[in-house]
Amino acid sequence: MVLILEGKPAAEAVYDRIRQELASLPEGRKLPCLAAIIVGDVAASRLYINTKIKACESVGFRSLLVELPESVTQDELLAQVQLLNDDPDVHGIIVQLPLPVQLSEAQITEAILPAKDVDGFHPFNIGKMCLGMSGLRPATPAGIITLLDHYQVQTEGRHCVVLGRSNIVGMPIAVLLSKNEPRGNATVTLCHSKTPDIQRFTREADILIAAVGIPEWVKADWIKEGAIVIDVGIHRISDTNLKKGYRVCGDVDFQEVAPKTSFITPVPGGVGLMTVAQLLKNTFYAYLALEHQHIGIINS
């Protein structure tokens, strides 16, 4: 029997816990605030930002949206980041990616105060994660761990194959799954574009995490019976048979692969929802730390 790892129940469990923790704080306290910077008017980016703003509203956070033109310069964007760094009423900062070509994503990421880096991309936070220290962990990898935990998916002693070595997903999820922590202790193989005969590794995987950015790349003959498949990809594919003219899919050919799995995430409705949930968990963690409150929600 295949179990679909729906993101909504797991994300709602995170939101419920945040609401409970927030309600337990003294009355009249400052509310957590997530500030988001969006550059230009890319439809997909605006959709992602709106989803995060709605999630903030649902748990009782404040949100702040900073909209900048596509022509913004590096110095102008850095100045805006600094304003948010200096604002004591802002606890989390995200800059929606991708950015226009004239801007350096790495420089912008490093400009965000590590204590407010709720995406978990700053080298300081990546370093703390690698050392097993409490802190703001990358939102998508940490969200995957929360999803596995919600459904009580066992990782200890299993062979996990990660497809993709990005600093945002592939590398950090490989680190988290190999750590001596709950939903860790897996043996991890990290595959990438230079890995020869990738299917040799994927067919040995007890857990396969696909984060390569290629639509429906992973096929049924790539995996073994009963494998656990986590699909991080999300793509909009033209489909003239549908009224809206497109369909959304992941890096995994879901219809073909799902019958061979024991657990699999859908796209949409899987990892993406967990990324937003982890973003809010990180924002609350940052809020508690910055406001010197007792930390109830941490990096689990």
Residue 59 belongs to a domain with what CATH number?
Answer: 3.40.50.10860
**Residue found under tokens 């594919």:** 237
Q: Does residue 295 carry a pLDDT above 80?
A: no
Contact 45, 37 (CB under 8 A): no
Q: What are the tokens at 212? A: 């390569």
**Same structural domain for residues 267 and 170?**
yes
In this prediction, residues 197-224 reach a mean pLDDT of 97
Q: Residue for token digits 């910055």?
A: 290
pLDDT band, very low/low/confident/very high, at 299 (cuts 50, 70, 90) = very low
Same-domain pairing of 57 and 181:
no
Active site residues: 52, 96, 119
Is it the case that residue 293 has pLDDT exceeding 80? Answer: no
Considering the domain architecture, whether residues 102 and 151 belong to the same structural domain is answered as no
Q: What is the pLDDT of residues 84-134, one digit of tens each?
A: 999 999 999 999 999 999 999 999 999 999 999 999 999 999 999 999 999
**Could you tell me the pLDDT band of residue 241, with boundaries at 50, 70 and 90?**
confident
Q: What single letter denotes the amino acid at residue 234?
A: I
Query: CB–CB of 164/23 below 8 Å?
Result: no
**Is the confidence at residue 151, as pLDDT, over 60?**
yes
Rounded mean pLDDT, 72-88 = 97
| Structural domain for 39, as ranges | 26-113
Q: Are 94 and 37 in contact (CB under 8 A)?
A: yes
Instruction: Output the six-digit token pair for 53.
Output: 């703003």
> Are residues 154 and 259 both part of a single domain?
yes
pLDDT attached to residue 53: 95
Rg (CA), the chain: 19
Beta pairing class for 207-210 and 227-231: parallel
Say if residue 94 is in the same domain as residue 145.
no
Task: Say if residues 230 and 266 touch (Cβ distance below 8 Å).
Answer: no
Mean pLDDT of all residues belonging to the chain? 94
- Assess whether pLDDT exceeds 70 at residue 297: no
